[in-house]
């Protein structure tokens, strides 16, 4: 055990001191925080110039009926020929020309001309406005009162309520649950591949540099393999925890600097959203927006985050240990990364399959595919993490975890047999038949 700890310590300290580890630990949170913060900052500080759109309305229906916005202004011109307008367009201040044909009500087609691609917000504003006007015109022609029609249009809202075991009600969201489950599954997939491949590369490097010959003289191959696998696992956990802390810190600081009004709202209403309920939110914004905020925080709070986080760490560690042992065995059997391809396929297929099944699992988290995917150890780390936010019976989680641990122990034993022979073998192309002989070797 002491020798494993020595190898573990060596692997851990060697890797956390590398420049690549330090750089990725810093760059990773910055990238993740940027994904969350930068779009909002760009939207806030994007000082768009007002775009002036010339309008030729040959139908004479829409004159002065297309509303201006903060960044879009419409000017109706008397010109009826697009060709004449085109000659002077480059010298004008117009951003584009909107042409509405005389037969707009029957053709339902309009054109926008410009010397560059018009912005999406311009196109959407024009389309939505003209569509609304055309609908009103057609309703009037059919003697249908517009206001009466509006009064019978229903925007149905479906609230999902979950009954807990103690009889309480919790508001949930299928969409949020799907996003959480998918993100957790992708993270497990990413970390298993990233750190598992580090184990394989580390073994190959030591083998090709012949350092392993010196190490093996004082340490058993099994101890070396386990120390390397567990050491890199701790490196992964360290980096992951630092990513979470640094990302949260960067996002918090960015919000305080760029969106102080949001922080003021949170300071003035510290418990209204999370604890106090609807009565304390009456004065915050519009009723609809307030309701959405309350629902969002209520839904986010309803998830068993303690269970989700603990499950994530277990499946991350256990899944990595399972695949890490297999990656170590592959690394010991070959002399270069180029030779690993023939052995990588059988190992990576279950992980890829689990990710491919994600859409089916999200659609039916209690189905047979989801159940067996979360029970079979080679797919359970990803599939079970996708399912857990939806709610999984404890006996299924316990069974999945037990089988995963048992499989890890078995795979470690098999990998150790390959490792102890392959780690000192050079210059020979290894086949599956050769690996089978190593597994049966009892010396």
- Tens digits of residue pLDDT in 73-96: 888 888 767 777 787 787 788 888
Average pLDDT of the residues of the chain: 79
- List strands edge to edge, sheet with 72-76: 72-76, 51-57, 96-100, 111-113
Instruction: Answer for the pair 396, 373: CB distance below 8 angstroms, yes or no.
Output: no
Return the closest-CA partner of residue 388 out of 191, 180, 190.
Answer: 180
Q: In the structure, what pLDDT confidence band is assigned to residue 225 with cuts at 50, 70 and 90? A: confident
Q: Residue 171 — φ and ψ, nearest 5°?
A: -80, 135
Pairing verdict, β 72-76 and 160-163: unpaired
Instruction: Answer for the pair 426, 220: CB distance below 8 angstroms, yes or no.
Output: no
Q: What percent of the chain has pLDDT over 90?
A: 8
Specify the range with the lowest mean pLDDT, choosing from 243-247, 362-366, 422-426: 422-426
Q: Of 350 and 248, which is predicted with more confidence?
A: 350
234-277 pLDDT per residue, tens: 888 888 888 888 888 887 887 777 666 555 444 444 444 344 44
Write down the pLDDT at residue 427.
Answer: 67
Separation CA 126–CA 71 (nearest Å): 13
Q: What percent of the chain has pLDDT over 70?
A: 82
Q: Of 215 and 114, which is predicted with more confidence?
A: 114
Write down the pLDDT at residue 43.
Answer: 64
Q: Of 398 and 253, which is predicted with more confidence?
A: 398
Write down the pLDDT at residue 286.
Answer: 44
Q: How confident is the model over 40-60, as a mean pLDDT?
A: 74
Candidate CATH numbers 3.90.1200.10, 3.40.50.300, 2.40.30.110, 3.40.190.10; the one for domain 51-149: 3.40.190.10
Write down the pLDDT at residue 264.
Answer: 44
Q: Is the pLDDT of residue 302 over 70?
A: no
Return the closest-CA partner of residue 94 out of 70, 110, 112, 106.
Answer: 112
Q: How confident is the model over 210-234, as a mean pLDDT?
A: 79
What is the location of CATH 3.40.190.10 in the chain? 51-149
- How many C-beta neighbours within 10 Å does residue 28 have? 16
Write down the pLDDT at residue 293.
Answer: 55
Q: How confident is the model over 176-190, as a mean pLDDT?
A: 86
135-144, 336-345, 384-393 — most confident range: 384-393
| pTM across the whole model | 0.68
Q: How confident is the model over 338-364, as a mean pLDDT?
A: 85
152-178 pLDDT per residue, tens: 777 777 767 766 667 676 666 677 788
Separation CA 84–CA 154 (nearest Å): 47
Length of the chain: 443
Write down the pLDDT at residue 105.
Answer: 78
161-165, 352-356, 415-419 — most confident range: 352-356
Specify the range with the lowest mean pLDDT, choosing from 128-137, 318-327, 384-393, 422-431: 422-431
Write down the pLDDT at residue 191.
Answer: 86
Q: Is the pLDDT of residue 382 over 60?
A: yes
Return the closest-CA partner of residue 379 out of 424, 336, 349.
Answer: 349
Write down the pLDDT at residue 396.
Answer: 92
Write down the pLDDT at residue 176.
Answer: 78
Q: Is the pLDDT of residue 281 over 60?
A: no
């Amino acid at each position: 055990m002491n020798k494993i700890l020595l190898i573990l310590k060596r692997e851990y300290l060697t890797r956390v001191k590398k420049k690549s580890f330090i750089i990725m630990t810093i760059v990773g949170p910055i990238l993740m925080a940027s994904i969350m913060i930068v779009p909002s900052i760009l939207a806030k500080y994007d000082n768009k110039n007002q775009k002036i759109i010339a309008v030729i309305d040959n139908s004479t229906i829409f004159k002065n009926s297309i509303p201006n916005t903060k960044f879009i202004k419409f000017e109706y011109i008397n010109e009826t020929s697009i060709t004449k307008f085109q000659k002077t367009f480059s010298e004008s201040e117009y951003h584009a020309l909107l042409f509405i044909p005389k037969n707009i009500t029957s053709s339902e087609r309009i054109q926008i001309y410009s010397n560059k691609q018009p912005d999406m917000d311009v196109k959407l504003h024009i389309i939505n406005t003209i569509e609304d006007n055309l609908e009103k015109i057609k309703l009037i022609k059919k003697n249908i009162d517009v206001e009466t029609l509006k009064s019978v249009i229903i925007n149905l809202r479906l609230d999902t309520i979950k009954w807990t075991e103690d009889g309480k009600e919790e508001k949930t969201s299928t969409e949020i649950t799907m996003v959480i489950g998918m993100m957790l599954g992708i993270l497990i997939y990413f970390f298993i591949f990233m750190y598992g491949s580090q184990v394989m590369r580390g073994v190959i490097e030591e083998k090709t540099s012949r350092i392993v010959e010196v190490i093996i003289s004082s340490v058993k191959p099994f101890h070396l393999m386990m120390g390397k696998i567990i050491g890199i696992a701790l490196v992964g956990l360290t980096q992951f925890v630092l990513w979470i802390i640094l990302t949260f810190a960067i996002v918090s600081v960015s919000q305080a600097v760029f969106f102080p009004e949001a922080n003021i709202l949170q300071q003035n209403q510290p418990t209204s959203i999370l604890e106090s309920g609807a009565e304390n939110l009456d004065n915050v914004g519009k009723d609809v927006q307030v309701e959405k905020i309350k629902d969002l925080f209520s839904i986010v709070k309803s998830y068993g985050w303690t269970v989700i986080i603990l499950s994530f760490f277990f499946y991350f560690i256990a899944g990595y240990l399972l695949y890490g042992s297999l990656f170590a065995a592959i690394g010991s059997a070959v002399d270069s990364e180029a030779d690993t391809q023939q052995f990588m396929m059988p190992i990576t297929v279950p992980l890829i399959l689990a990710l491919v099944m994600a859409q089916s699992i999200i659609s039916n988290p209690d189905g047979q595919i989801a159940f067996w995917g979360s029970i079979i150890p080679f797919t359970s780390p990803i599939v079970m993490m996708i399912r857990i936010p939806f709610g999984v019976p404890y006996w299924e989680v316990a069974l999945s975890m037990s089988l995963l641990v048992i499989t890890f122990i078995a795979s470690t034993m098999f990998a150790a047999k390959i490792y102890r022979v392959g780690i000192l073998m050079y210059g020979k192309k290894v086949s599956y038949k050769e690996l089978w002989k190593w597994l049966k070797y009892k010396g």
